[in-house]
Structure 1
Amino acid sequence: MDGGNPRCPLSHPTNPHTLSKSGQITKFGCFTCGKKAPLSKRDRRFSYYCITCDVSFHKGCHIFPRKLTHPYHLQHPLTFTFPDYESGITSDSFDYETYRTAVKCHSQFIITYSLKKPGSIECSWCGKNIEDDCFYRCSICNFYLDLSCSQSIPLLLVANPKSHQHPLVFYRRPLLTPCDACGLVNVLDPSYACFQCNYMVHQSCIDLPRVIKITRHRHRLSHIPCVQSPVSPCGVCYQKVENKYGLYSCNRYEDHSYVVHSKCATHENIWDGKELEWEPEEPENIEDILPFKKVGTDMIKYFSHEHNLKLEKYDAVRDAEKLCQACVCPINSRDFYNCIHCDFFLHEVCAGLLRKLDHALHKHTLILDPYPRDSYYLLDCPICSRGSTGFRYICSISNCNSHRIGIDIRCILVPDHFTHESHEHPLFISTSFKAEIRCQGCQKECMQSYLQCTICIFIMCYKCATIPTEVSYKHDKHPLSLCYGEKADDTYWCELCEKEVNPRNWFYTCNICCITIHLHCIFGSSSYMKPGSIFDYNYSKLEVLRNSNSTRPQCTRCGDRCPGYIYFKRKRDKHPVTFSCSVQCLEGG
């Protein structure tokens, strides 16, 4: 048998025939679906033909039998069916002899049935709309099975399941009651039963790992079938956990003070996929994660800097040129570490960031990366979408898709239980990846992770959650406070751009001096870019420069004078130097 060509489905396994590629379907039509024309434009390239049997198949139809006895519907055989929405009928496939005889005598040989409107046919097993060109159908029961479900053949018996002490038998109906292993109702998941124990379990829950580690908790978790008393909410979704179903519980606490739903704990965005039942626990070594060592009174040796740093007390003197190397924010409100040999500053809080940590925003351990990026396209944080030249946390697994994409330290510093002044209830980290989730702060679509309230419908993106509640403004001796919108119809004007401020949006204000300023006028589009940074950008060098009041360059893109405290200078071989006042003008040009 030729290994390069598929076997003809009509041939016997002991004497197989191979199919060869053909440019067109023969006059008899496709043997499986009965249609002579291609099923779709992508199938016009070739079909399959069996010389021995003298039959043709569409590409794709050759892998599906005409009649199918499937565990999802053992009462009757299922017939491969091709829908014709234009004529409003379905055409069941037919046996080989009828097929050849009918064509020769030019008689009608296709059995027809009424058909619903396009897209209204649902798979009787998974409940999804059938989008395929063909499907399987039982004409007696009007049972429909899409091609994806038809290829899923579950085992009829699981002899030694991990989750139960007895063999499990395939349950031939969608499970409409909660699964004993996860507590969820999911009719899309095939189920198994132990009738001796009245135990029902999803196919995907049979082999749930017994011991795992997730980054939201410092200890390992074990899967247990139930607990005697009510338990705390789930440590991932913060919803109620039913104690009579399977769940994951912390190994260290016998009172089950930390529990997680089975499906939450093993979600692909939460769990790293490693089962730890037989793996010894690694001892925690605090020396490996501390970022500095004390070398004297108020003196430290930071792991990524060559000189010692000295702790300085904030003297209330503003200096816009003193920026923290980690968060790229001014040194103007708290104590900081200063290098006496070079221009290197760290807030005391930022200096204490651990070199390695587990965080709810990623399923693998994260490591602190203090070194500058060499590419402009690696600056954006995947959590808040802001570009920054400061420190970031990257994945410790080199082959992870997120290894080179760094999470901004501002997002890392947001705690699991987050209290924000704009909302009365605590907010929790969510990674549900739902489509079109909008932030109540900026009204924009959230990134892959966001913060949500479990009591009411309130969502906040990380960009809004990490906006400072107070900022300094050079033309006001008082700090500006963040206002979270007002219901009043008063008219406000921005101190910087002199345009109207929508009072329903967030803005900065000084109630003493009656000043209001847009958020984007305070931060701009690149507020966390440190002057002096240089990157590769589209086969050119991009430099971040400080903007002074006396020498404001003209933006090459929009023609305005650069208004922010920094601007971009781009150099390309054999091209004139260009200036950009913002990220929008840089990327738009």
Structure 2
Amino acid sequence: MGREKHTACESKQHFSHPHILKLINPAESATLTCNACEKTNITNKPNFYGCNSCQYFLHENCLNAPRFVDHSSHPSHHLTLLPVPTYSSRSYTCNGCGCDGNGFSFSCARCDFDIHMHCALIPQTVLLSKQHHHELKLIFESPFDNKNTVFVCDICDDNVDLNCWFYYCAGCDFGMHLHCASPEADVFPKSQQHRNNINANSAVEMINSVNDDHDRLVAAQISAQIDARGRQNILDSIDGPSRRYYYY
């Protein structure tokens, strides 16, 4: 019985792939890239599942991501996890961080709204005591009335794209890029942050470094998934743009 239980933990099925995904040996996973978030095994932990014959691999956190989420950035509709972009270009631009993506995304087909899976799961609030003494809130739209406002990140001194998400303390007018809120922010000097486009990679690092927060968030989203499944029939009955197709 003990052996059977151990084996079951080392194999998992995922909707994005027809074959069983098996736990990858840590020594072999160092050079792998996740098909979901398109990032490597940055945590140096044995957290990759994969199908070697197809060269298809997923981080454990990515594999366990919910199929549906109700996200504050898009309150009108729930978002569906898609394993590949549904646009003819086979890529999308994330409405969260502004970077392009070719892997998994949470998407609303009705609104052409797409965000990276890891952007959808980053914390809604963060407390970074080394950078600021107040809690920072994840901002989805510019809080400034003047559309010509130029806002500078208080960590790296680079401009913040106000069409993208960022963390902000309204009381102090203190804000930062998503990647500057990563635990790795203290490691990189400002000049190196300027040179490196690490938005998506740092977002994944932040998720994997705060597993407790991630697990609580996923638990809440799985609860929301139960309700979202009840609305799936409504979504199926609505024709989206002709250039899109759907995964369920």
> What TM-score do you get using the length of structure 1 for normalisation?
0.28
Corresponding residue number in structure 1 for 2:120: 412
Contact 1:356 1:367 in 2 (8 A): yes
Which structure features the higher share of helix residues?
Answer: 2
Q: Counterparts of 1:519 and 1:468 in 2: how far apart (Å)? A: 16
SS in 2 for 1:406: strand
1:443 aligns with 2:191: no
Q: Which amino acid is the alignment partner of residue 307 of structure 1?
A: H
Asked whether 1:356 is paired with 2:33, we answer no
- Could you tell me how far apart the structure 2 residues matched to 1:424 and 1:344 are? 43
Q: Name the structure, 1 or 2, with higher relative contact order (CA <8 Å, separation 6+).
A: 2
Aligned position for 1:391: 104
Q: How do residues 126-145 of structure 1 correspond to structure 2 at under 5 angstroms?
A: none
Q: Are 2:188 and 1:469 equivalent residues in the alignment?
A: no
Residue equivalent to 2:134: 425
Indicate whether 1:457 and 2:168 are aligned.
no
User: Unaligned regions of 5+ residues in structure 2, if any?
Assistant: 1-6, 202-248
* Amino acid paired to 1:329: K
Write the distance in 1 (CA, Å) between the matches of 2:138 and 2:200: 26
**In structure 1, the residue corresponding to 2:74 is in which secondary structure?**
coil
Match of 1:15 in 2: none
Percentage identity across paired residues of the two chains: 26
Query: What residue identity is the alignment partner of 1:518?
Result: R
**Offset at 1:424?**
3.3
Tell me which amino acid in the other structure corresponds to 1:469.
E
Asked if 1:518 is matched to 2:195, the reply is: yes
1:326 aligns with 2:36: yes
Amino acid at match of 2:187: S
Say whether residues 1:315 and 2:49 are aligned partners: no
Could you say if the C-alpha distance between residues 526 and 356 of structure 1 is closer, same or farther in structure 2, counting changes exceeding 3 Å?
closer
Distance in 1 of aligned mates of 2:134 and 2:25: 35
CA distance in 2, matches of 1:464, 1:376: 30
CA apart distance, 1:303: 1.1
Q: C-alpha displacement at 1:454, in angstroms? A: 4.0
Partner deviation per Cα, 1:275-308 (whole Å, 9 max, x = no partner): xxxxxxxxxxxxxxxxxxxx92321110111000
What are the Cα deviations for residues 372-430 of structure 1, in whole angstroms up to 9, with x where unaligned? 445448521112110111111012xx5x4x3x331112211211122345333221123
* Correspondence for 1:368: 81
Equivalences for 1:48-67 in 2 at 5 Å? none
- Asked whether the equivalents of residues 380 and 386 of structure 1 are also in contact (C-alpha less than 8 Å), the reply is yes
Provide closer, same or farther for how the CA distance between residues 386 and 432 of structure 1 changes in structure 2, counting only shifts above 3 A.
closer
Judge conservation of contact 1:360–1:429 (CA < 8 Å) in 2. Answer: no
SS of corresponding position for 1:302: coil
Aligned length: 186
Q: 2:62 & 2:48 partners in 1: Cα distance?
A: 9
Aligned residues of 2:124 and 2:138 also touching (Cα < 8 A):
yes
Q: Is the 8 A contact 1:307 1:341 kept in 2?
A: no
Name 1:347's counterpart in structure 2: 59
Is this contact kept in 1: 2:68–2:81, CA < 8 A?
Answer: yes
Task: Give the direction of change, closer, same or farther, for the CA distance of 1:411–1:526 in structure 2 (3 Å limit).
Answer: closer
Q: Structure 2 counterpart of 1:302, which letter?
A: H
Amino acid at match of 1:388: G
* Structure-1 separation of matches of 2:94 and 2:180: 14
The one-letter code matched in structure 1 to 2:37 is C
In structure 2, relative to structure 1, the CA distance for the partners of 1:300 and 1:373 (3 Å cut) is same
RMSD (CA atoms): 3.4
Residue of structure 1 aligned with 2:187, choices 481, 491, 495: 481
Counterpart residue type for residue 136 of structure 2: L
How far the C-alpha of 1:317 sits from its partner, in A, is: 6.7
Question: SS of the counterpart of 2:23?
Answer: strand
**Looking at CA atoms only, which structure, 1 or 2, has the larger radius of gyration?**
1
Residue matched to 1:150: none
The 5 A counterparts of 1:132-171 are none
CA distance in 1, matches of 2:132, 2:57: 34
Displacement of 1:358 in angstroms is 1.1
**Which position in structure 1 is the counterpart of 2:241?**
none
1:185-204 aligned within 5 A: none
Preserved CA contact (<8 Å) 2:96 2:140:
no
Higher strand proportion, which one? 1
Aligned counterparts of 2:69 and 2:17: Cα–Cα separation in 1: 20
**Contact 2:35 2:104 survives alignment (8 Å):** yes
State the Cα distance separating 1:464 from its structure 2 match.
Answer: 4.2
CA shift digits 1:85-130 (9 cap, x unpaired): xxxxxxxxxxxxxxxxxxxxxxxxxxxxxxxxxxxxxxxxxxxxxx
1:316 offset after TM fit, Å? Answer: 8.2
Whether contact under 8 Å (1:327, 1:391) holds in the other structure is: yes
Aligned-partner SS, 2:26: coil
Give the superposition deviation at 1:339.
1.2
Structure 1 contact 385–463 (Cα < 8 Å) conserved:
no
Aligned residue type for 2:184: T
The answer on whether the counterparts of 1:372 and 1:390 sit within 8 Å (CA) in structure 2 is yes
Confirm or deny: 8 A CA contact 1:310 1:339 kept in the other structure: yes
Cα distance change, pair 526–407 in 1 and its aligned pair in 2 (3 A): closer
> In structure 2, do the counterparts of structure 1 residues 311 and 415 end up closer, same or farther at CA, with 3 Å as the change threshold?
same
Matches of 1:388 and 1:432, distance apart in 2:
21
* Structure 2 counterparts to residues 88-237 of structure 1, below 5 A: none
The DSSP-based 3-state class of the residue aligned with 1:371 is coil
Task: Specify whether residues 324 and 317 from structure 1 end up closer, same or farther in structure 2 by C-alpha distance, changes over 3 A only.
Answer: closer
Q: What is the distance in 2 between the residues matched to 1:323 and 1:448?
A: 26
In structure 1, what residue type is equivalent to 2:50? N
**Aligned residue number for residue 75 of structure 1:** none
